[in-house]
A and B are shown apart, each in its own frame.
Chain A
C-alpha cells in the first residue's frame, strides 16, 4: 500500500534517513524501532509529507505521492500522530477531533457524530469538553490518536503513543490498536515499549542512524544479534546508566 524507494533525507549535514526501501502492507501492524535519533520520526514526516524527501520516491497504492503536500496525502488516507502532542490549544478535545472528522464531510452533525464515535473508541468521551491545558499526558497521546483516526485513514502512523503510559494503560492502548487494525486500518507503530511491539506487530523494521538494518518477524528481531547489540543492548546500557 505504501512503498518507499531509496528514500533519503538530510538536514544540512545530518543524514537523518539514508536510502530507505520499505513496503507497508495492507491491514497489518508494522513495528518501527530504533534508538533516539535513528530517524523514525523523520521517516513518518516523509511519509506524511510534512517535508519533502531529499531523494527517492514514495508510492501510495501505486501512485507516486512524492511531490504531494501533507494535506493531499491526508486526503488520500495517510494519517499521523505527533510524537510531542500538538493539541489545538483553544479548541476543546471534542473540537480537536471534530476538525479531523470534517475532512470527510462538511456536515456538522455528521462530523460531530463521527468525532463522538472516535472519542468513544479512544476512551475520551468523558473528557470531550476539556481543553488541552486540562489534559494529562496519556490523554494528550490519546487525543493525537483520536484526531488522526477521525480523518478516516487507510494508514495510521503512530509515533510513540504509548510512551509514559502505565502497564494497564499500555494494555488498553494495545487493545485499541487491534480494534483499529481490525476495522481495516493499516498501522505503523513507532514504539519503545518492546512488549507492545513484540505482541502487536507481524513485522518489525529496525532503523539505525537513518538506515534499515533489520526487517523481520518480532521473534527473529528479538534474536538478531546486531539488533541486540545496536538497539536492545544500547537501551539496556542506557537503563543501567540511568
Chain B
C-alpha cells in the first residue's frame, strides 16, 4: 500500500488525452478563474454585436461538447445530432406556441424526447453491431428521415417552420430585450457540460467508453458490455444536445428545418470538436473559439463574397492535415514534452 501511495502521482490523471493541467494536480486555477471572470464580465464590455458572437461561440462549443460525449469518448460517430438539436428546438417551440407551456418545461420534454429517440435508434444500431462508417450512415439516414417528415408536417409548419410571437420579456417565457441573458444561459450550460466531461474523463463510465472506443474485444474481456455502455453514451449525448436547440430557437424566435435539422447542422455541431480535438475536455471549446474567431475575421476582411467561405474551407483542411488529432491534444503534447525535457 505504501508503494501505491508514493507512486500515485506518477500516472497522469485519467482522461484519454486529458492534460494534467485540468485533472486537479497542477491545475492553473488562477488562469481558469481569470477566463471565467472575463466570460462573466464580457457582457458589460461588449455591445450587442459582441454578445451575438459570444452566444454563437458558447453554443457551438456546447453542441460540440455534447457530441463529444458519444463520438469522442465512446468513438461512435453520430450524424444524428443535428436531428436531436432540432427535436429540442421543435419541442419547446411547439409546446409554447400551441399550449403556452414555458420553454423551460418544453426544454425538459425536448431533452427527454431526444433521449428516447436516441435509445430506440441506438438500440437497433448497436444490436446489429453498426460501428464506424455504418453507424454514421445509419444515424445520417435517421436524421434525413426526420427532416423530411418535419418538412412535410402541417403541425410543425412544414418548410417554413414555427414562429414565436414577441411578448412582454420575462424569464418564464425565455424572452429578453437584451441578448446578454441568452449569453448567460449558454455560459451556464457550457460550464455545466465541462463538468460532465471532466467526470467522464475520470469516472468508470468514461474509462469504459474509452476502452470500447479502442477495442470492443478487449473491453469485453474486462467485463464491459459494449452495447449497453454505447447506448448509455448515445442517450446521454442526445439529452445534452437538445436543450441547446430549445434555447437557440428562443434566441432566434423561430424554428425551421434548414436552421435546426439536417446534415449541415450536424456538420456544424461536429466541426469544432474535430478541429479542437475529440475525446478531450477542452478540445470542443477551443475548436469553437478558433472557428468562430476565423469566421468573424474573415467576414470583416474578405474583399469579395465567397472568399470567406473559401478561406474557411482552406483553414479547415489545413487544420485537419497539420493536426489530425485536433489543436488541443497536439498543443498539449508539445507542452508536456517540453516540460519533460527540462
Contact = CB atoms under 8 A, between A and B. Distances in A.
A231 interface: no
Nearest to B3: A120
B206 to A, nearest CB: 10
Contacts of B279: 90
Given A70-B221, A71-B225, A74-B223, A92 B11 contact: yes
Q: Tell me which of B4, B7, B279 has the highest count of chain A C-beta atoms within 10 A of its own C-beta.
A: B4
Given A99-B208, A99-B211, A112 B8 contact: yes
Q: Tell me which of B1, B8, B207 has the highest count of chain A C-beta atoms within 10 A of its own C-beta.
A: B207
Nearest to A117: B4
Interface stretch (B12-20, B97-105, B128-136, B252-260): B12-20
B296 interface: no
Given A99-B207, A102-B208, A116-B3, A86 B218 contact: yes
Interface string A14-30: 00000000000000000
Contacts of B214: 88-91
Interface stretch (A75-83, A179-187, A234-242): A75-83
A86 B217 CA distance: 9
Interface string A85-123: 010111110110011101100101001110011001000
B178 interface: no
A92 B17 CA distance: 9
Nearest to A148: B221
A128 B8 CA distance: 10
B211 A88 contact: yes
Contacts of A202: none
Contacts of B12: 92, 94, 129
B202 interface: yes
Interface string A28-52: 0000000000000000000010100
A90 B210 contact: yes
Interface of A is mostly: helix
Contacts of B203: 106, 108
A74 B222 contact: yes
A195 to B, nearest CB: 28
Contacts, number: 111
A113 B4 contact: yes
B16 A91 contact: yes
Contacts of B4: 112-113, 116-117, 120
Contact of A106 (B11, B204, B217, B220): B204
B30 interface: no
B90 to A, nearest CB: 37
Given A108-B202, A116-B4, A50 B221 contact: yes
Interface in B94-152: none
Contacts of B17: 90
Contact of A111 (B3, B204, B213, B223): B204
A71 B224 contact: yes
A167 interface: no
B264 interface: no
A155 to B, nearest CB: 13
Given A95-B14, A108-B203, A69 B225 contact: yes
7 contacts: A74-B222, A90-B279, A99-B208, A102-B222, A113-B8, A117-B4, A125-B3
Given A103-B223, A125-B10, 20 more contacts: A50-B217, A50-B221, A70-B217, A71-B223, A86-B217, A88-B218, A91-B214, A95-B207, A98-B207, A99-B222, A100-B222, A102-B222, A106-B204, A113-B1, A113-B4, A113-B8, A116-B3, A128-B7, A129-B10, A147-B218
Interface of A: 48, 50, 69-72, 74-75, 79-80, 82, 86, 88-92, 94-95, 98-100, 102-103, 106, 108, 111-113, 116-117, 120, 125, 128-129, 147-148, 151
Interface of B: 1, 3-4, 7-8, 10-12, 14, 16-17, 202-204, 207-208, 210-211, 213-215, 217-226, 279
